[in-house]
């Protein structure tokens, strides 16, 4: 998998469940993407590609990936361009479709050595929107998708006509200008998790750039058009209290999708980072995710 020919680096000692390795690939634009792999010790029953959200990195999926390994699921992921340890200007992209291209490039590399094994996409926040876009691009290659607080439609409270106009104007004049950021307290009720997020050097806390914001709006417009054609089985989870992504997009997906195999979990208590909420909630949420997967790979 390493385009430079180096051996992948073992970052976690062998355990009864899985081995964690890090590596890199080089995308079609020549940028190195930092990758993580959580491979079960025993038979691989399924592949799950984890797609992280804006300003985050793939290492934040390690807890869920470890739980998946207990079911024989091989999880893998990379930091998007401009995120985490991958190359590229932090928080900048010219076309969101390049993220989708990177996703499929990475998946194709892993599937080359794991043929005929079911593939699922797990996407959080912005990564949830990427998962829908990627699955719709090649639905024949995806057995299902799990969406955690996905970005599918822009929030009417934040994407007002004036704000959209200003963002688009700035994207032409100063696309790399930082234009806004969420308050840390809006992401989770778990103070310990918020501290870990705050102290994580790989998390970008400086706010979204104007050009990136316009690309996210473009993605939402594209997704809204394709929702009726989505026919890939999906699990979608979202909170009514989520201040970061619009739960209306998840509900619209559930309403418009042509798929007969769809599972929805709409909560009233958590905030945005469902994988990093209060311990009781996370345990329950992980159980819902794993049960959904188990039924589709057994």
- The Cβ of residue 3 has, within 10 Å, a number of other Cβ atoms equal to 13
Indicate the DSSP class of residue 145: E
For residue 290, with 0-12 CB atoms within 10 Å meaning exposed, 13-18 middle and 19 or more buried, which class applies? Answer: middle
Please pick, among 86, 148, 242, 250, the residue that the annotation labels catalytic. 242
Please give the structure tokens belonging to residue 286. 């992980």
Cα dihedral value 85, 88, 94, 95, nearest 10:
-40
Please pick, among 50, 78, 124, 272, the residue that the annotation labels catalytic. 272
| Cβ contact 188:158 at 8 Å | no
Report the distance separating Cα 250 and Cα 255, nearest Å: 9
For residue 69, with 0-12 CB atoms within 10 Å meaning exposed, 13-18 middle and 19 or more buried, which class applies? Answer: buried
Please pick, among 98, 125, 148, 250, the residue that the annotation labels catalytic. 125
CA distances from 282 to 126, 190, 286, 288 (A): 20, 10, 6, 10
Q: Tell me if residue 242 is catalytic.
A: yes
- Which residues are the active-site residues? 125, 242, 272
């Amino acid at each position: 998998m390493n385009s430079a020919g180096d051996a992948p680096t073992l970052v976690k000692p062998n355990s009864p469940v899985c081995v964690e390795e890090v590596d890199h690939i080089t995308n079609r634009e020549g940028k190195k993407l930092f990758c993580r792999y959580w491979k079960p010790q025993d038979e691989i029953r399924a592949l799950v590609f984890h797609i992280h959200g804006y300003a985050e990195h793939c290492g934040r999926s390690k807890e869920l990936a470890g739980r998946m390994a207990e079911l024989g699921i091989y999880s893998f992921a990379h930091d998007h361009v401009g995120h985490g340890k991958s190359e590229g200007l932090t928080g900048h992209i010219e076309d969101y479709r390049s993220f989708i291209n990177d996703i499929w490039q990475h998946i194709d590399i892993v599937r080359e050595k794991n043929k005929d094994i079911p593939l699922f996409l797990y996407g959080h926040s912005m990564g949830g929107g990427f998962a829908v876009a990627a699955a719709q691009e090649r639905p024949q290659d995806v057995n299902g998708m799990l969406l955690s607080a996905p970005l599918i439609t822009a929030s009417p409270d934040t994407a007002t006509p004036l704000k959209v106009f200003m963002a688009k104007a700035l994207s032409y004049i100063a696309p790399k200008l930082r234009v806004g950021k969420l308050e840390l307290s809006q992401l989770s009720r778990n103070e310990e998790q918020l501290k870990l997020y705050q102290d994580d050097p790989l998390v970008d806390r400086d706010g979204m750039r104007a050009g990136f914001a316009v690309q996210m709006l473009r993605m939402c417009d594209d997704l809204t058009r394709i929702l009726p054609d989505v026919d890939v089985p999906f699990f979608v989870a979202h909170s009514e209290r989520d201040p970061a992504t619009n739960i209306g997009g998840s509900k619209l997906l559930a309403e418009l999708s042509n798929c007969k195999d769809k599972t929805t979990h709409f909560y009233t208590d958590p905030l945005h980072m469902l994988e990093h909420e209060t311990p009781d909630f996370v345990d329950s949420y992980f159980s819902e995710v794993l049960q959904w997967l188990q039924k589709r790979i057994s």
